[in-house]
A and B are shown apart, each in its own frame.
Chain A
């Protein structure tokens, strides 16, 4: 059963804590993305990776970090430096080889700061 999985579905963070969101895909896609979604706003790009062991900052990378050690996995760490982390986080993957390639999204992780 191919697709993208994200875990956990819900995550609670205390002040000063780092937390890591998991994203795994078995679609054999080269590119993977992390987006943040806030109420009433579109998705904003945090980080993206087009190949293993390489990634680039998106529009709102401050306070976040990623790694891409395997093609299938792209975990996102929300550090204590991110002052307003409460949001819905979406991971996506895609082939990104032609203009007909779309992105496939995971079910999301809702992060809440206590």
Chain B
């Protein structure tokens, strides 16, 4: 059974710091891995999607990597800003287009 784990559960950093969020999954048979952002009381917004054949994706200050063989992904946020404060969720999509989510990392960027 596929399980997705995110570490740390919460993170507080000063503005301007570069940071890394971690995600691990137990079964390497995935179609893709996605990183989502969730603001308090709101829905999820897709940030980056990495196909199983890819190693990384970049969008602005965000870079996500995928190592399928080790079951790991990282989300790198450069020059963090207070507006980056949110919960970041990692999710893997498996056969039948079923998506399994991690519990998320709650990020707080201090001004």
* Number of residues on chain B facing chain A (CB within 8 A): 25
Which of B4, B45, B91, B98 has most A Cβ within 10 Å? Answer: B98
Question: B32 touching A100 by the CB < 8 A rule?
Answer: yes
Q: What residue of chain B has the Cβ atom nearest to residue A3's Cβ?
A: B43
Q: B43: which A residues are within 8 A, CB to CB?
A: 4, 90, 105-108
Which of A42, A102, A107 makes the CB contact (< 8 A) with B101?
A42
Q: A105: which B residues are within 8 A, CB to CB?
A: 43-45
Q: B91: which A residues are within 8 A, CB to CB?
A: 42-43
Per-position 1/0 for A27-39, Cβ under 8 A of B: 0000101010000
**Cβ of A99 < 8 Å from any Cβ of B?**
yes
Q: A84: which B residues are within 8 A, CB to CB?
A: none
Per-position 1/0 for A89-114, Cβ under 8 A of B: 01010101001101111111010000
Shortest Cβ distance from A62 into chain B, in angstroms? 18
Question: B99 touching A103 by the CB < 8 A rule?
Answer: yes
**Cβ of A45 < 8 Å from any Cβ of B?**
yes
Q: Interface residues of B: mostly helix, strand, loop or mixed? A: strand
**Cβ of A40 < 8 Å from any Cβ of B?**
yes
Please, how many angstroms separate the alpha-carbon atoms of A110 and B43 in the complex? 11
Shortest Cβ distance from A6 into chain B, in angstroms? 8
Shortest Cβ distance from B40 into chain A, in angstroms? 10
Shortest Cβ distance from B50 into chain A, in angstroms? 10
Q: A41: which B residues are within 8 A, CB to CB?
A: 103
Please, how many angstroms separate the alpha-carbon atoms of A100 and B104 in the complex? 22
Seen from chain B, the residues whose Cβ lies within 8 Å of a Cβ on chain A are: 4, 9, 31-32, 34, 41-46, 49, 51-52, 89, 91, 93, 97-104
Could you pull out 22 A-B pairs where Cβ atoms are within 8 angstroms? A4-B43, A31-B97, A33-B99, A40-B103, A43-B44, A43-B89, A44-B101, A48-B98, A88-B41, A90-B44, A94-B97, A96-B97, A99-B31, A99-B51, A99-B52, A100-B32, A100-B49, A100-B51, A103-B44, A103-B46, A107-B42, A108-B42
